[in-house]
A and B are shown apart, each in its own frame.
Chain A
Amino acid sequence: MNWVQIQPALPEIVLACAAMALLMLGVFRGERSARLVSWLGVIVLAAVAILVASVTPTSGRLLLFADMFAVSLYGAFVKILVLGASALGLVMAIGYNQREGIARFEFPVLIITATLGMMMMISANDLIALYVGLELQSLSLYVVASFRRDSIKSTEAGLKYFVLGALASGMLLYGASLVYGFAGSTNFAQLASVLTAKDAGNAGVIVGLVFLMVGLAFKISAFPFHMWTPDVYEGAPTPVTAFFSAAPKLAAMGLFVSVLVGPFGKLVGQWQQVLVLISIGSMALGAFAAISQSNIKRLLAYSSIGHVGYALIGLAAGTEAGYRGVLIYMAIYVAMTLGAFAVVLCMRRGGQMVETIPDLAGLSKTRPGMALVLLIMMFSMAGIPPFAGFWGKLYVFMAAIDAKLYTLAILGVLTSVVAAYYYIRIVKIMYFDEPADAFDRMPDRELGLIQAAAAAFTLLFFLFPGPLVRAAEQAVKSLAG
C-alpha cells in the first residue's frame, strides 16, 4: 500500500495521531494543561476540516482499504459540519469545565476520538467498518456523558447511555449478521448489486434491515428508541449535552442516509414504511412530551427528538430532493441547537448553573441580548418564517409532497403547530413575565460569539441560502453515483 492509496484518508489519520499526541502532551504537562490541550484540539479539528475539503475529489467516490472506506463529496459535506459542530462544542466546554472543577485534558482527547469515530461512520463502505466507527464514537460519548464523575446524575446518564447503547449496538450487529448471512457480503457496493427489488419478499434480508435501522434509530434518538435521550441530556454536563445534540446526531443521520440509499437503495419500498412510522412517532413525541417539561435541557432533548422526526421525512421521501432536505435540515438544526445551548450555558446565578424554564422569566429586561438570541432560536425551531428553521422544514415537506407522502407532510405541519406552543411559551416567559433575579455576567466571550454567530445564521439564512443548498445538492449527487 503506497502513499497515494491512503492519501484520501489523511484527515482521519491526522485526527487519530493528533488525539494521541494531545494525550501525551496532557500527561506530561499535568492536570493544568486542560485549557492548552482543549484549544489545540479546537485548532486540530478546524485544520482537519480544511484537510477534508482538500483531499476530497470533486466528483465520484474514492474507495480505499479494500473498499471499506469511501471518500466522496457527500462524506465531505457531513464531515465538515461534524468537525465544525465538534469544535464549537469543545469551545463551549472549556470555560464551563474550569468553573465546575472538571477541567481535565482527557476531555478534548475524548471529543476528538468521538469525532474520529463519526468520520469513520460517515466514510464507512462496509458493515464492519460502519460498526467499528459507530463503536469508537459511542464509547467516547459514554465516557464524556459521565465526565462529572462525582455527580450521581452524570454517572447515571453515562451508565444509562452505555447500557442502552450497548443494546442498540447488539441489535445493529444482529441485523448486520442477518444481512451478511442472506446476501453473502458486508461490502456496500456488493450488497447494492446483490439486493435487488425482488429481494423485497426475502424475510431474512428485511428482518436484518429492520434491525440495522433499529440500531441507527437509537443513535439519532428517534421514536421509539428515544427513552435514553431526556435522562442523558439532563444528567450530562451542559456543554456535553450541547455536543451530544449536535455532532453525533448529524453523523448518525448522515450514516442513516448513506446506509439506506447505498446498499439498500433498491429496497426503498421496504424501509420507507418503517421510516414513515418512526418519523411520525418522533414528531408527535417531540411535540407533546415537551409541553410538560420544566427543565430546559429536557425540553431541548424532546425538541431534538422532534427535529429528528422532521429530518426523517426527507429520508422517507426516498428522492434526491428528500436527501438534500435532510442535509439542509440537519445543518440548520445544528446551528439552532448550538445557539440555544450557548444561551443555556449562560444561565448562572450566584456561581451556580440553573436550568429550569421559570429561571428565564423576564430575561428581556435583565439580559436583552441573550433573550433576543433565544427568541430567534425558539422562533426558528418552531418553524416561523423567515428564520432558517422554516426553510429547513420547507425543503423536507416539499420533498414529501413530491413523493406523494401527503399524510406524513400534513402530520408534520400539525405537530409543528403543537410544538410551536412550548417554543413560544419560552419567548412569552422571557418577554412578558415578571423578571427573576438577573443572571451572572456572561462567563466567556466565546459563548457570546457563538450565540451571535448562530443568531446571525438563523436570521439571515433566507437571504443567502445558495451556498448551503448547492453544497447539499452536490453532496447528494455523489451519494447516488
Chain B
Amino acid sequence: MVLQALAFYVFAAVAVAAGIMVVTARNPVHSVLFLILAFFNAAGLFVLMGAEFLAMILIIVYVGAVAVLFLFVVMMLDIDFVELRQGFVKYLPVGGLIGIVLLVELFVVVGGWVSLPATKSAIAEPVREGVSNTAALGRLLYTKYVYLFQAAGLILFVAMIGAIVLTLRHREGVKRQKIAQQLKRTRAESVQLVKVKPGEGV
C-alpha cells in the first residue's frame, strides 16, 4: 500500500509540475515535450487505478500520434510565441475572473452533489468480476455499442475524404517514375556517339 501511495504522489506531482511547465515554458517545443511527460504520468495514474487499457491508449494515441503531430505543427509553423503571450498581464483580470467564476461553479456543483441509492443500478454497465478491462471494453464496444462504434468509423471516413478533397492537387508537369518505360529504353535510343574534332567542341 505504501508503495502504491508513493507511486501515486510521484505520478501526480510530476503530472502537475509538467502541466505548469507546458504553459510557462518559453520554447514551444519544450512545451510539447512537457505535455508528453504529463501524458506519461497520467498513464501511470491510470495503471494505478487498474485501467490499463486507458493507460495504453493514452500513450499510443496521445503520445504516439497527437503529441508528435503537435511537435511537427509547432516546428513547421513559424509563430512568434513570445509575441502571442504579450497580452498576458492585460488580459489577466478578465481571465482570472472567468477562472474564479468557473471554480465557484465547480464548488457549488460538487458541494450540492447527492448520490441517490437508486443511481447505482443506473450505471451504464457494471464491471464484471474476473474480466480484464481491455476484454470488458472490447465486449461492450462490439455488442452494446456497436452502432456508435460503426458511426464513429463513418465519421472518420468522412474526415478522410474531406481532408483529401480539400487539399489534394494533381499538379501538371511533375516527373514520376515509370519503371516500364525506363526498362524499355535501349542503348540505341538513349546514347549517341559524336565524333568531336579536337579544339572545336560539340
Contacts and interface: CB of A to CB of B under 8 A. Distances in A.
Nearest to A190: B122
Interface residues on B, range: 20 to 34
Contacts of B143: 1, 66
B192 interface: no
B155 A135 contact: yes
Contacts of B144: 66
Nearest to A162: B162
Interface string B138-174: 0000011111101110110111011011100010000
A116 interface: yes
A69 B147 CA distance: 8
Contacts of B161: 23, 106, 109-110, 113, 143
A249 interface: no
A436 B12 CA distance: 73
B47 to A, nearest CB: 26
A391 interface: no
A190 B121 CA distance: 13
Given A65-B146, A110-B165, A139 B151 contact: no
B119 interface: yes
Q: Which of A23, A116, A132, A204 is most buried by chain B, counting CB atoms within 10 A of its CB?
A: A132
Given A106-B164, A110-B165, A184-B119, A143 B158 contact: yes
A136 B159 contact: no
Contacts, number: 68
Contact of A132 (B146, B152, B164): B152
Interface in A22-51: 23, 31
A66 B122 contact: no
A190 B161 CA distance: 37
A65 B155 contact: no
Q: Find the residue from B119, B143, B165, B170 having the highest chain A CB count within 10 A.
A: B165
Residue of B143, B146, B148 with most partner-chain A CB within 10 A = B148
Contacts of A139: 155, 158-159, 162
Interface in A41-80: 65-66, 68-69
Interface string A223-235: 0000000000000
B155 A136 contact: yes
Contacts of A190: 122
A128 B162 contact: no
Nearest to A133: B151
Contacts of A334: none
A336 B114 CA distance: 52
Nearest to B166: A149
Nearest to A69: B147
A129 B148 contact: yes
A290 interface: no
A104 to B, nearest CB: 7
Contact of A136 (B146, B147, B158, B170): B158
Interface in A5-26: 16, 19-20, 23
A30 to B, nearest CB: 10
A120 interface: yes
Given A106-B161, A110-B161, A139-B162, A68 B148 contact: yes
A428 B154 CA distance: 48
A142 interface: yes
A143 B162 contact: yes
Contacts of B145: 66
Nearest to A104: B165
B165 A128 contact: no
Nearest to A143: B162
B166 A143 contact: yes
A212 B165 CA distance: 32
A193 B150 CA distance: 28
A140 B154 CA distance: 11
B154 A113 contact: yes
Contacts of B162: 110, 139-140, 142-143
Given A66-B144, A110-B165, A185-B122, A129 B158 contact: no
B122 A136 contact: no
Contacts of B146: 1, 65
A258 interface: no
5 contacts: A23-B161, A65-B146, A66-B145, A110-B165, A136-B155
Interface of B: 109, 119, 122, 143-148, 150-152, 154-155, 157-159, 161-162, 164-166, 170
Interface of A: 1, 16, 19-20, 23, 31, 65-66, 68-69, 104, 106, 109-110, 113, 116, 120, 128-129, 132-133, 135-136, 139-140, 142-143, 146-147, 149, 158, 184-185, 190, 204
Pick the 5 closest A-B CB pairs, nearest first. A65-B147, A143-B162, A184-B122, A132-B151, A66-B144
Given A69-B147, A136-B155, A149-B165, 4 more contacts: A1-B143, A1-B146, A132-B151, A185-B122
